[in-house]
Chains A and B, each alone.
Chain A
């Protein structure tokens, strides 16, 4: 498919060069030449592996020895295996923690910032953005300590007489998924905040003055001026964080390994295990394809819904 469409692309300018003035044809050809290295790299490292993954998803294969064509069997197991469905469900729950909460927190900070002048803004911005640039392994190790049975959260609970609530937060069936999710919130809200602050600084202050003259309170002002102006930034933030949520792997790997039970198992982890640990490459490829489509559909819907009207 890819090869065919590529060769069609290549043919197109040649036909033009034959029928129209050679100068224009040569011009277009040369332009395509400039694109060729990028296209080649993209095709080699993105498109071709994508095609390969799709192909693998129809095989029963350990990654090494003879593969066997099994048609849609891997997809059937993705959609009928209750555990796999639960795992994809966890991926969707992660969206709440990795995308929705960070965006809401980011918006709240911006809403406050547009009303109140914050001293040392640059410093706060840097500090709050820090989690985004820390290596996730470092983040995971730090949070593992925070959530540990003898960690600071339980120490505080003990201090205020809430011993009954103490637990190993990452090792408890009821709290592990939420605990992992909140790490994602902590990582991502800085990114959203920086994006939104950047966007808010571009809003014409006259709009705020007009709103205030019309008697708008803080809430009305936020919904009438700030929020609509940040449509583009929210869209970018959601696309980045939703993708981040669905391909979340490193935090889970470094905190719970998917446990306890299967309570924090997420799609990427399932794919990793299938491809490298249990050597069920066909199934892992099928799950990858489903995950890719899910990400494309969700991010496509986000950009479409939040596309600016003008």
Chain B
């Protein structure tokens, strides 16, 4: 499997030597014109994307090809796991995609920054005004130091089109039947779960067969509720002296364990896939569903008005949630079609195109305030994202902390709920993953 990489490595190191001397990207100061792109002649722009972007791209590509008639877009769609497994090697090859989706964190974006595979996008962001009307803190996960060893500060290497906050979905009909108001805080939610459970409903629909989202999204939301944003983000970013052993995280783990013991997730969730869980929730099983706003499009497709979505206020009283500007888009540092690639992203992330995201029930970063929703659930999601943009705080995803953290957290969360580990051992296992990785990273 990893065998082919050696030749690629040789080729890439030779190529990056050439790149360093020749291709210092020309900075742009204004959006590219049709003429700038037309100067390339008839070209094919190669784009790799996560399958979740398909509906958006189906709208974007015809529009783009119409505006820039000399460019044909060749789209490669991949499932998330497939994309994550191949994107770094593809970007490192001699024929990388010109534009691609990636992911935040050390394993994907960090490796690509370190290997100088990504074009810096600071000039592009400014020229196209993409940073207008969005919280500056949202760029933290897109910024890296030049060595690709630390994120949070430095140049911007990627940008997403639609924000994806984690939050709480609820079934309106079930809340009404139970006589519960939509929860606004973690305290409200706890009370609602007790009530739902007593009424014989399944309180939380969960599909965790892929060791996800229990140890990532569900735990992530709980950690956001009880912990300080800065201390969690510092730990995720691998800041020296951070530890997972914080009172807020202990409280989150205790709550998670408590929910498991109380049977709030029902039975058999470790044998149910996330897709099946979303489908079951859409079909009327379960009162709540904890997850990313990106699950909303599927629920809205079932019935745009049957479900609600809300962020929760943490113990500090603020909206705090795990989220970002969405799956990042990158431009290859090796692309020979830079104007076409930048124009592609420019159009995708523009205010003019924002409604196209909204039309498929997504939450565009641009024009978030003014896009028209597809239904009441989407409206609730938009309201949540607006509140977050206005005065909330973004927390990073826990799995960005180390390349193995997704597995570690996923495993430990399953074990915690199955009674095969306790909170001390959970924290110890996470730190055993984190410490050696961060020590090695800082030593580089």
Residues of A within 8 A of B (CB): 49-50, 52-53, 55-56, 62-65, 67, 144, 147-150, 167-173, 255-262, 271-281, 284-285, 288
Contact = CB atoms under 8 A, between A and B. Distances in A.
Contacts of B86: 276
Contact of B268 (A148, A261, A276, A281): A148
A277 B85 contact: yes
A129 B273 CA distance: 29
A52 B6 contact: yes
Contact of B92 (A64, A172, A275): A64
Chain A CB count within 10 A is highest, among B2, B112, B117, for B2
Interface string B378-421: 00000000000000000000000001101100110011001010
A259 B12 contact: no
Contacts of B84: 276-277
Contacts of B268: 148-150, 167-168, 171
CB-based closest 5 A-B pairs: A168-B271, A149-B268, A171-B270, A171-B271, A168-B268
Contact of A280 (B9, B92, B403): B403
A147 B271 contact: yes
A278 B420 contact: no
A271 B1 contact: yes
Contacts of A150: 268
B357 to A, nearest CB: 28
A65 B271 CA distance: 38
A258 B415 CA distance: 13
Given A63-B89, A171-B270, A281 B5 contact: yes
Chain B CB within 10 A, most for which of A167, A171, A258, A275:
A171
A65 B441 CA distance: 13
B59 interface: no
A171 B269 contact: yes
Given A168-B271, A169-B271, A278 B2 contact: no
A172 B270 contact: yes
B211 A260 contact: yes
Contacts of A280: 403-404
Contacts of B272: 148-149, 168, 171
B111 interface: yes
B347 interface: no
B88 interface: yes
Contacts of B410: 259
Interface in B266-287: 267-273, 276
B32 interface: no
Nearest to B82: A276
Chain B interface main SS type:
helix
Given A147-B271, A259-B210, A276-B84, 6 more contacts: A52-B3, A55-B6, A64-B5, A168-B270, A272-B1, A276-B2
B209 interface: yes
B114 A63 contact: no
A12 B58 CA distance: 62
A170 B92 contact: no
Contact of B414 (A67, A260, A274): A260
30 contacts: A56-B3, A62-B114, A63-B2, A63-B9, A63-B89, A64-B89, A64-B117, A65-B115, A144-B273, A167-B267, A168-B270, A169-B271, A171-B208, A173-B415, A255-B209, A257-B209, A259-B410, A259-B414, A260-B418, A273-B407, A276-B1, A276-B85, A277-B85, A277-B107, A277-B403, A278-B403, A280-B404, A281-B2, A288-B1, A288-B2
Given A276-B85, A279-B88, A53 B3 contact: yes
Contact of A173 (B211, B403, B406, B418): B418
Contacts of A67: 9
Main secondary structure of the interface of A (DSSP, over half): loop
A261 B415 contact: yes
Contacts of B418: 173, 260-261
A56 B273 CA distance: 35
A208 B87 CA distance: 61
Contacts of A271: 1
Contacts of A170: 209, 270-271
Contacts of B208: 171, 259
B411 A262 contact: yes
A143 to B, nearest CB: 11
A273 B107 CA distance: 11
Contacts of A288: 1-2
A168 B207 CA distance: 11
Nearest to A271: B1
Contacts of A62: 111, 114
Contacts of A63: 2, 5, 9, 88-89, 111
B238 to A, nearest CB: 15
Contacts of B270: 168, 170-172, 259-260
A147 B273 CA distance: 12
A278 B2 CA distance: 12
A168 B2 contact: no
A158 to B, nearest CB: 13
Contact of B211 (A148, A255, A257, A281): A257
Nearest to A276: B85
Contacts of A261: 411, 414-415, 418, 420
Contacts of B406: 277
A64 B411 contact: no
B369 to A, nearest CB: 37
Interface centre among A49, A56, A144, A277, by most chain B C-beta atoms within 10 angstroms, is A277
A279 B111 contact: yes
Given A149-B272, A173-B420, A259 B115 contact: no
A274 B5 CA distance: 13
A257 B274 CA distance: 12
Query: Counting chain B CB atoms within 10 Å of each CB, which of A64, A147, A274, A280 scores highest?
Result: A64
Contacts of A284: 1-2
A138 B174 CA distance: 35
Contacts of A277: 84-85, 107, 403, 406
A168 B267 contact: yes
